Amino acid sequence: MIESMQTLMVYSESGGVSKTTTAVSIAMTAAEQGRRTVLVDLDPRAAATKWLDVEPSGEGLHVGAILGDEDPQGWGEDLAVQSTWSKNLRVIPSARNVSNREADRADHAELRLRTALVGISADLVVIDCPNRQGGPLILSALNAADSIVYAATASSDGVDGVAGARRTVEQFRLSRTRIAAPITLSEAGIVLGRVQETIPSRPAVASTDELRATGMLLMPLVPERAIIQEVRLTGEWYGNYRKGAPVVAAYAKIVNQVIR
């Protein structure tokens, strides 16, 4: 039995770098290992929500309801929807109008997600973040999380997305230091996805080397498999298919490193 809940955010400031794949894969892998897991879709694109084919339990009962409520205590438990993928996996869905919350500058609005997750029945919460350079949604994740995984691909976008995200995290830590607030957010590492198993291009090699130089690159690297894009369109888990087995195996090893 896990003694305390872990809240992990998956972040990059670039789009198209396997961020949602990483968040969903960590959440589902943890669930299959027996952890009670909640996946929070904080991205207005709702990519994770669509992939897991979940719907809010009622009109407007998605993550935006948490972010828009001055007193969201208990909302996390109330809004978490059971996934058909695993009995151990629930999802707090997103919707397009969650982007409206990015204009919210109310005092302490960035603490609402954290407040909503207090007491939720889970061993692990995984937050799929939007690719933003800071802002209210990212601040909400930073305040709620105690660990962070950066998602990347072997590309300039992948490198830039991690570098930008790390700068945002550093700024968050500095702001906490200035007000003498505790800093509990730790960097768990970088997940490098969609890695070609053929001879890589020079830019791919250079990008991988740059990410490795951070000392945070998690192993193994996650191989490219067409099955992932195929099942995302049908709302299925790639782990149900033989072609997805190498990706499942990679994430299983990564989860054992980033989940306490």
The confidence score (pLDDT) of residue 244 equals 97
Q: In which band, very low, low, confident or very high, does the pLDDT at 103 lie, cut at 50, 70 and 90? A: confident
The confidence score (pLDDT) of residue 104 equals 76
Q: In which band, very low, low, confident or very high, does the pLDDT at 259 lie, cut at 50, 70 and 90? A: very high
Q: Assess if CATH 3.40.718.10 describes domain 6-258.
A: no
Average pLDDT for residues 86-91, to the nearest whole number? 98
Check residues 85 and 181 and name the one with the higher pLDDT. 85
d(CA 30, CA 157): 28
Per-domain boundaries in the chain: 6-258
The confidence score (pLDDT) of residue 3 equals 53
Residue 68 pLDDT more than 60?
A: yes
Residue 1 pLDDT more than 50?
A: no
Residue 102 pLDDT more than 60?
A: yes
Positive or negative, the CA dihedral 79, 25, 152, 46 is: negative
Residue 101 pLDDT more than 90?
A: no
186-234 residue pLDDT tens = 999 999 999 998 888 999 999 999 999 999 999 999 999 999 999 999 9
The confidence score (pLDDT) of residue 2 equals 39
Average pLDDT for residues 10-21, to the nearest whole number? 97
**Residue 223, both tokens:** 């191989």
The confidence score (pLDDT) of residue 106 equals 77
The confidence score (pLDDT) of residue 210 equals 98
